[in-house]
A and B are shown apart, each in its own frame.
Chain A
Amino acid sequence: MQGSRPLVRVVRLGLVSYQEGLRLQQVYVDRHRSGPAHSLLLCEHPPVYTTGIRHQPYPASRLDPLRLLGAEVHRANRGGLITFHGPGQLVCYPVLDLSGFRKSVRWYVAQLEKTVVSACGSLGVTATTSPHTGVWVGDNKICAMGIHCGRYVTSHGLALNCNTDLSWFSHIVPCGIEGKGVTSLSRELRRDVSVHEATPHLLAAFGEHFHCELSEDA
């Protein structure tokens, strides 16, 4: 794209329920109706399991036991299968109008993967992509992804395990992929890595891979 770089507004939501996260994403999606309004929502969620548009693998009988663990359960209109969000996990919802970048969902997801690989790298973790969307350290997924796109406006996004309690994942087959595990920045670096520490690395990598300016409200 020639001309100036797109402006993306960083919005730090803190700890919000998954439901509140959905509501706020919709607010930011709707802003695109009156012109470019790219934003990057950052948050953490209390424990919640979510599924995507493929409902068939997850009937109520399979989801109800998860509630007994003390987590919420939600269906979302994103791609991807079941995953977990919880404290210690950096959740990022880019609400971009792809008309301002590249009108390809495949490109967008690839750029998100590269963003996370770079962020992990700058923290000292060598991560990779694979035929399974998401970011991996060997056979263990360190960051899940699942997005939605309507009229070129994106929602949902990625979830990077910083110091998440990974035992929550043992109750599901994460993203429906048998035989693989999960990991976190803390596990890989054998020290505590918080969401607070990881966030600037993710933002810097996002700015780099999406060739955009990030702004924060005062």
Chain B
Amino acid sequence: MAAYALLRSMSSSFSSVLPLLSRSGSLSPAPLAVKPLFRRTLASSSRFSAALKFTDKHEWVRVEDDGIIGTVGISNFAQEALGDVVYCGLPEVGTQLAQQDEFGALESVKAASELYSPLTGEVVEVNSLLADKPGLVNKSCYKDGWLMKMTIAKPAELDSLMDEAAYERYIRSIED
């Protein structure tokens, strides 16, 4: 993480990066290979990829580029099982959540269904579009229908969640 921060704070010009790389003992000894790939290499390590991780209660979390914030929503399986969402009861910004804490509820077909936090962290943003357009949860559950953004206090918790392939298998096992 320290090397990454060092790179970010340097100018983006390659020529100014090179001499710094050769001086610092903690960076890669192959600066040409490192060049703009360094940032991408870190970004593609599993914990910080843009891939979705899923809970067994059909919430998903997507770690954003900085690795500090996770965006949370519900899966396609969940939105179909709910029916048309007419109301989203979401938490206040600043709410502290532990993994699996109830963080809100979605209302559909006169049913209020609870939502469970995929991770431990603090709510930093709530999707304000959902107040007027709760149906976005059905129409665009992975994109515009996101529910909240939270900090990732315990990144190791991501390892306890399912990746997309595992979640697909889980869905199939439920449907049988």
Contacts and interface: CB of A to CB of B under 8 A. Distances in A.
* Most A CB within 10 A of own CB, among B80, B82, B116: B82
A182 interface: no
A147 B81 contact: no
A133 interface: yes
A52 B81 contact: no
Contact of A149 (B87, B111, B174): B111
Given A53-B87, A54-B87, A105 B113 contact: yes
Contacts, number: 73
B93 to A, nearest CB: 18
Interface stretch (A10-18, A77-85, A166-174): A77-85
B114 A150 contact: yes
B110 A134 contact: yes
A147 B108 contact: no
Nearest to B57: A151
Interface in A76-101: 77-80
A80 B110 contact: yes
B155 interface: no
A210 interface: no
* Most A CB within 10 A of own CB, among B82, B102, B111, B174: B111
A147 B114 contact: no
Contacts of A53: 87, 89, 105, 107, 112
Interface of B is mostly: strand
Interface in A189-217: none
Nearest to A99: B174
B81 A103 contact: yes
Contacts of A122: none
B57 A78 contact: no
* Most A CB within 10 A of own CB, among B83, B109, B113: B109
A133 B109 contact: yes
A55 B139 CA distance: 25
A21 interface: no
B111 A148 contact: yes
A79 B81 contact: no
Nearest to A146: B110
Interface in A23-65: 52-54
Interface string B91-119: 00000000000100101111111101000
B107 A106 contact: no
A162 B80 CA distance: 34
Interface string A102-121: 01111111100000000000
Interface of A: 52-54, 77-80, 103-110, 133-134, 145-151
13 contacts: A54-B87, A78-B112, A79-B109, A104-B82, A105-B113, A106-B83, A106-B109, A106-B111, A107-B81, A109-B83, A134-B110, A148-B105, A148-B114
9 smallest A-B Cβ distances: which pairs? Answer: A106-B83, A104-B81, A133-B110, A150-B114, A80-B110, A79-B110, A79-B112, A79-B111, A105-B111
